[in-house]
Every structure is written in structure tokens, then in C-alpha cells.
């Protein structure tokens, strides 16, 4: 008999024996179900970790290879090329250098001198007039807020008192925007502020408003569109320059675009194509070009690269593979990115501390350490070192990945990362046969970051035309920076020369950043 409020043990028994009939009693079945549940839990935990890291964590993928090696009981390898060494504590010498160079300001800056003199030059003791025996000079960096000014063009009219042959006057200069307010310099400033410095147009309108210039954001949009219209031929020349090279980096990034007539966006794309031969002392000039598309279908890179022949350094996106597959003439060779493979193992190790992922990271770090020693060398030397040192490590890594794959569950994230690497192994090994090829696509990924900064501030492009303007302006600004050219000064001069008619369609190549830079240097040297 039980007391009120208490439940007997019999109450935990099922009311009907048939309730347990469908529950498995086989130990093997229970163990398999448990393993499947644990695998699913691990996958979900890794997904949660990846989401948290993407939202709140650091974007850097740095690892302490020495710590990984010690954890695995191995010798610490040399630091990989993509992991900069941890900065040591500042020494007394570095602190002294900072103090000594604190006032070393550029000589070209204007010096405005303020003499802080004594009001009374009489000696406090004997009241005799003191004489100057020297002075102390202290330089501080000052700023004058940017100021707008009005450029007034005055065209005097002339007439002859003798013959009365009409009125003579110099023709009015052409403007980038006929009848518009902005000069070419202001157009270049607006383009640079938005696409170079990530300053959205509504913020620029607010800054102009503080100086009494009230402009609607749509007016600035029109200025951007008109400026990009003038610059489109230069953009086409840069894109053609890239496609003529034998080795091109390619990547893409989302660009939300406002749909016409709707208050929502759809995901467009900016495709980035870059060339940079400086790591192997090549003679081709660095450049990057962006192309806008309304979606990510494979037809877009196929159209952009229709005339390209050579090595295409890319990630694992299927559109690039389709390009190679459709071009059955062997004109396009895909070289895949080791950084993307490394990132997969890094995410797994960060979430699970997997020793297999740690071992993979160490093996990839050894390859990057070899690359660090040959960066900047000629292509022939790079190829020789890779054949002698990197090729055996790549072969060992491939065999090791195959062995680890046989030990892992097919549904695990680690097995998925290994299958990704083995599936792209031919493209990953392309750097072993060509000294010009890089191990990764970091060259073009560095040019994606400025787009992401601007996108974060502006949120979206206002239209497909706005997406194309985004591609044009960013192409010109980033290419100028890659060639050591001040983008705003260059854009100003280019717009002025194009609008004034000083250059025609046959001489536009003289306005390319590298040609413009060399011409300016020649003028200074003359």
C-alpha cells in the first residue's frame, strides 16, 4: 500500500507489454544507432562552432605549428609562409626608434610656422635687452578639414572697333556632366570615397550637407554613373590586359542587388580576375578586373574567359570545372587552391581538436614553409626547388590521406575534407610542374576584401547598372593601387583628359595606370 502523494515503483512499468515490442533489443543495432547519433551530434556541434566563429570569431586562420607538433610528439616544423610570425615584445631599441622617428614627417607637407616669442625681452635680473642665442623647433601633424570651392570659368569676349567682324571668344570647355555641378576632380573624389574607402553615398551627402551643399543621394548616384560611363573604355583595356596573360587568378563574391520595383534584394555576383607576376619576377604588370553578373551560373565565367588560354588559379567552384570541361582543346588548365583545403582542416581542428586534422595542417605548413624560401625567385628556381623538396611531401600527403580515409566514417566532416582534397588533387599538384603557379588564390582573395568592406557599408547595389558601376570603379581603383599609383589623382587626370578630348580612342592605352605612372615620372625627371 502506498502513501498519498507517493508513486510506487510499479508506476514506472509500461501499462501494456506491447509498448516495448518495437524497441530494438539487439546490442549491435543499439550500438550502430548510438554511433550514428554521436556522428550526427558531432556534425551539428561543428556546424554550430563554424557559425559562431563566422559571426563572432576571428577571421584569421593562424595556427601555432610548433604547438601542434608537440601535441603530436613531432619536431616543430618551420613556420608556414601564410602564418606571419608572432610579434615579439618591443625591445628597448624599437622603443627608442619610435621615439626618435616620431617627428619625421614628410618633407613635401606644408610647414606653417608659429613663433612663440617672449612678450618681454628684458632681462628679469638687470632689465637689459636680451639677444637670441638659438631656438627650439617642434613639428606636429595638423589637419585642415576638406573644403569645397567653386571653380569659376571666365571667358572674355572680344570685338574689333575697326571692322566690326563679330564677337570672338574662346569656346567653352566640355564637362563630364554637361550643365552639371561637379568638376572631374569632384567626380574622382566621390568614386574614390565610395569604392576605395568604403564611404556610402548617403554619408557623403551628409558630409556635403555640413558645408551647406544640399544634394540628394540620387544626384550622387547620377554622378557615379556618369563618371563610370567615361571610364568604361579604360576598364575594358584593363580587362583585356588580364585575359591576354597566361596565368589568371579567379574568384567571386556576393553582391546584393536591389530588384527593380521591389523592396528586396537578390544576390548578384562580382567576379574578380587578377594577374600578378611579382612573386616569380615576371614582367607582366599587376592588375585586377571585376565583372558583375545577376547570378552565379556557370555561363558567366565561361563568357568572361571565352578567349583565355593558360592556367586558371581557382577554388573548387563547379563553374570553373565546367569551363575546362567545355573547352576540350586543353586551352585551360585549372590550378586549385591549397588555402581552401587547409581551411577545411583548420575549421575541423578548431572545433574538435582532431589529431588527424592537426597532422594535415602540419603537412600543409611544411609545403608553405618551402614556398616562403622561394617567394620572389625566378620561375626556374621555384620549379627546381618544388621538384626536389615539395613533390615528395605532396606524394606522402596523398598516400596519408588515402590511409586516413579508410579509417573514418564516410559521413564525418573530416572524411568530407579529405575527399575534397583527393578529388582536386591533380589541380592541387599543378604548382609542382610550373614555377609561375602559386599554391593558393590569395592574390585574388586579397582583392576581394575591399569589395567586402564597401559592401558592408553600402549593404547593396541599387540596380544591375549600379553593380556594373561598382565593378568598373573598383577595377580602376584597385589596379591603380597595385601599380603604386594614387587612384584619386589618376582618375582626376584621366577624366580631364578624356572630357577635354586630349586623347582619342587610339591613344587610350596611354591612360592605363602603369603608362600614366611612367609618363609622370618622366616629366619629373626632365
Q: What is the pLDDT of residues 458-493, one digit of tens each?
A: 989 989 999 999 999 999 999 999 999 999 999 999
Q: How many other CB atoms are there within 10 angstroms of residue 128's CB atom?
A: 9
At residue 55, the pLDDT reads 61
Residue 341: pLDDT band (50, 70, 90) is very high
Listed in sequence order, the residues at least 6 apart from 399 whose beta carbon sits closer than 8 Å to its beta carbon are: none
Residue 46: pLDDT band (50, 70, 90) is low
Report pLDDT digits (tens) over 503-518. 988 899 999 999 999 9
Phi and psi torsions of 72, nearest 5°: -90, 5
At residue 36, the pLDDT reads 75
Cell triple for 362: 602540419
Q: List the one residue out of 276, 198, 199, 288 whose CA is nearest residue 480.
A: 288
Report pLDDT digits (tens) over 94-121. 444 445 555 578 888 889 999 988 888 8
Coil vs helix vs strand at 308: coil
Mean pLDDT score of the chain, rounded to an integer? Answer: 85
Residue 284: pLDDT band (50, 70, 90) is confident
Residue 260: pLDDT band (50, 70, 90) is confident
How far, CA to CA in Å, does 477 sit from each of 238, 243, 316, 482, 489? 11, 19, 28, 9, 11
Residue 70: pLDDT band (50, 70, 90) is low
Q: For residues 222 and 179, what is the distance between their CA atoms, to the nearest angstrom?
A: 13
Average pLDDT of span 308-315 = 95
Average pLDDT of span 283-308 = 94
At residue 78, the pLDDT reads 54
At residue 276, the pLDDT reads 95
Instruction: Specify burial of residue 465 (Cβ count, 10 A radius: 0-12, 13-18, 19+).
Output: middle
At residue 69, the pLDDT reads 60
Using alpha carbons only, what angle is made at residue 523 by residues 520 and 526, rounded to the nearest 5 degrees? 150
Using alpha carbons only, what angle is made at residue 47 by residues 44 and 52, rounded to the nearest 5 degrees? 125
pLDDT of residue 410 exceeding 70: yes
Report pLDDT digits (tens) over 159-210. 888 887 788 999 988 999 998 899 999 999 999 999 999 999 999 999 999 9
Cell triple for 228: 563610370
Whether the predicted model's global pTM rises above the 0.85 cut? no
At residue 20, the pLDDT reads 45
Cell triple for 244: 591576354
At residue 33, the pLDDT reads 78
- Percent of the chain at pLDDT > 70 equals 84
pLDDT of residue 86 exceeding 50: no
Pairing state of beta strands 247-258 and 167-169? Answer: unpaired
At residue 50, the pLDDT reads 67
SS3 content of the chain, % helix, strand, coil (to 5): 50, 10, 40
Report pLDDT digits (tens) over 5-42. 433 444 434 444 444 445 556 787 887 778 777 777 77
At residue 484, the pLDDT reads 95
Give the lowest-confidence range in 41-55, 106-120, 223-237, 240-254: 41-55
Q: For residues 501 and 205, what is the distance between their CA atoms, to the nearest angstrom?
A: 30
At residue 53, the pLDDT reads 62
Amino acid at each position: 500500500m502506498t502513501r498519498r502523494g507517493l508513486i510506487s515503483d510499479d508506476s514506472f512499468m509500461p501499462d501494456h507489454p506491447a509498448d516495448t515490442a518495437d524497441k530494438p533489443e539487439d546490442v549491435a543495432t543499439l550500438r550502430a544507432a548510438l554511433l550514428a547519433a554521436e556522428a550526427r551530434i558531432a556534425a551539428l556541434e561543428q556546424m554550430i562552432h563554424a557559425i559562431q566563429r563566422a559571426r563572432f570569431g576571428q577571421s584569421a586562420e593562424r595556427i601555432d605549428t610548433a604547438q601542434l607538433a608537440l601535441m603530436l610528439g613531432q619536431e616543430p616544423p618551420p613556420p608556414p609562409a601564410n602564418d606571419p610570425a608572432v610579434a615579439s615584445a618591443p625591445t628597448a631599441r624599437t622603443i627608442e626608434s619610435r621615439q626618435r622617428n616620431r617627428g619625421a614627417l614628410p618633407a613635401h607637407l606644408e610647414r606653417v610656422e608659429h613663433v612663440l616669442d617672449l612678450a618681454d625681452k628684458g632681462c628679469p635680473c638687470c632689465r637689459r635687452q636680451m639677444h637670441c642665442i638659438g631656438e627650439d623647433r617642434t613639428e606636429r601633424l595638423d589637419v585642415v578639414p576638406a573644403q569645397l570651392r567653386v571653380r569659376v570659368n571666365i571667358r572674355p569676349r572680344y570685338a574689333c572697333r575697326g571692322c566690326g567682324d563679330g564677337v570672338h571668344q574662346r569656346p567653352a570647355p566640355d564637362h563630364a556632366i554637361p550643365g552639371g555641378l561637379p568638376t572631374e576632380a569632384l567626380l574622382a573624389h566621390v568614386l574614390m570615397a565610395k569604392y576605395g574607402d568604403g564611404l556610402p553615398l548617403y554619408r557623403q551627402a551628409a558630409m556635403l550637407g555640413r558645408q551647406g551643399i544640399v544634394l540628394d543621394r540620387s544626384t550622387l548616384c547620377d554622378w557615379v554613373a556618369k563618371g563610370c560611363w567615361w571610364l568604361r573604355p579604360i576598364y575594358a583595356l584593363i580587362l583585356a590586359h588580364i585575359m591576354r596573360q597566361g596565368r589568371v587568378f579567379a574568384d567571386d563574391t556576393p553582391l546584393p542587388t536591389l530588384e527593380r520595383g521591389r523592396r528586396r534584394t537578390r544576390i548578384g555576383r562580382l567576379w574578380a580576375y587578377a594577374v600578378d607576376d611579382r612573386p616569380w619576377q615576371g614582367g607582366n604588370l599587376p592588375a585586377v578586373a571585376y565583372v558583375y553578373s545577376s547570378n552565379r551560373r556557370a555561363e558567366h565565367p565561361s563568357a568572361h574567359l571565352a578567349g583565355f588560354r593558360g592556367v586558371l588559379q581557382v577554388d573548387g567552384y563547379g563553374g570553373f570545372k565546367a569551363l575546362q570541361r567545355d573547352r576540350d582543346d586543353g586551352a585551360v588548365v585549372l590550378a586549385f587552391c591549397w588555402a581552401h583545403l587547409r581551411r577545411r582542416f583548420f575549421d575541423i581542428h578548431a572545433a574538435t581538436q582532431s589529431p588527424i586534422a592537426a597532422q594535415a595542417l602540419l603537412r600543409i605548413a611544411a609545403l608553405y614553409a618551402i614556398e616562403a624560401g622561394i617567394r620572389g625567385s625566378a620561375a626556374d628556381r621555384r620549379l627546381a626547388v618544388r621538384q626536389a623538396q615539395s613533390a615528395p611531401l605532396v606524394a606522402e600527403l596523398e598516400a596519408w590521406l588515402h590511409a586516413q580515409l579508410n579509417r573514418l566514417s564516410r559521413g564525418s566532416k573530416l572524411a568530407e575534407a579529405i575527399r575534397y582534397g583527393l578529388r582536386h588533387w591533380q589541380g592541387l599538384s599543378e604548382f609542382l610542374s610550373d614555377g609561375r603557379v602559386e599554391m593558393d588564390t590569395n592574390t585574388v582573395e586579397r582583392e576581394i576584401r575591399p569589395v567586402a568592406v564597401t559592401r558592408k557599408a553600402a549593404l547593396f547595389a541599387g540596380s544591375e547598372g549600379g553593380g556594373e558601376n561598382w565593378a568598373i570603379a573598383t577595377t580602376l581603383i584597385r589596379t591603380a593601387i597595385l601599380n603604386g599609383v594614387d587612384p584619386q589623382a589618376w582618375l582626376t587626370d584621366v577624366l580631364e583628359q578624356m572630357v577635354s578630348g586630349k586623347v582619342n580612342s587610339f591613344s587610350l592605352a596611354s591612360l592605363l595606370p602603369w603608362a600614366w605612372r611612367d609618363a609622370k615620372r618622366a616629366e619629373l625627371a626632365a
